[in-house]
Amino acid sequence: MDTLKALMVFLTTAENGSFSDAARKLGVSPAAISQSIARLEQELEVRLFNRTTRQLTLTEDGRRFYAQCRGPVNNLDTAISQLKASRDEPAGHLRVSMPNSFGRRFILPLMDEFCSLYPKVRIFFGLDDHFSDLIEDGYDVGIRVGMMPDSRMVARHLAQIPLYVVASPEYWDRHGRPTVPEDLTAHDCINFQFPTSGRLFKWEFDKDGERTPVDVQGTYTLNEMEAVCELARLGMGVAQLPGHEVMPYIRRGELEAVLTQYVSLERSIYICFPHREHVAPRTRVFVDFITERLAHHPDIMADLPGLDLASKRLAAQPALA
The enclosing domain of 64 has a CATH number of: 1.10.10.10
**Range name among 78-87, 99-108, 219-228, 307-316 with the lowest pLDDT average:** 307-316
Residues 118 and 195 in one domain: no
Q: What is the model's pTM?
A: 0.63
3-state secondary structure of 65: helix
Residues 104 and 248 in one domain: no
Residues 129 and 166 in one domain: no
Integer Cα distance of 63 and 46 in angstroms:
12
301 residue type, one letter: M
Highest mean pLDDT among 15-24, 131-140, 213-222: 213-222
**C-alpha 69 chain-centroid distance:** 41
Residues 196 and 259 in one domain: yes
- How many structural domains are present in the chain? 3
pLDDT at 302: 57
Q: Which domain holds residue 205?
A: 161-266
Can you list the alpha helix ranges (DSSP code H) found in the chain? 3-16, 19-26, 30-44, 60-86, 100-102, 111-117, 169-175, 225-233, 243-251, 281-294, 298-301, 310-316
The mean pLDDT value for 94-103 works out to 90
**Last residue of a domain, which of 63, 86, 109?**
86
pLDDT at 148: 62
Q: CB burial class (10 A; 0-12, 13-18, 19+) of residue 4?
A: exposed
| 28 is a domain residue | yes
For residues 141 and 4, which has the higher predicted lDDT (pLDDT)? 141
| 121 is a domain residue | yes
The mean pLDDT value for 194-201 works out to 83
| 321 is a domain residue | no
CATH code of the domain covering residue 231: 3.40.190.290
pLDDT at 317: 47
Could you please report the per-residue DSSP string of 125-193? EEE-SS---TTTTT-SEEEEESSPPPTTSEEEEEEEEEEEEEE-HHHHHHH---SSGGGGGGS-BPEEB
Residues 165 and 261 in one domain: yes
Give the residue from 90, 151, 91 showing the smallest Cα distance to 274.
Answer: 151
For residues 20 and 2, which has the higher predicted lDDT (pLDDT)? 20
**Last residue of a domain, which of 59, 86, 113?**
86
Residues 199 and 247 in one domain: yes
Contact 218, 190 (CB under 8 A): yes
pLDDT at 309: 53
pLDDT at 320: 41
Residues 148 and 291 in one domain: yes
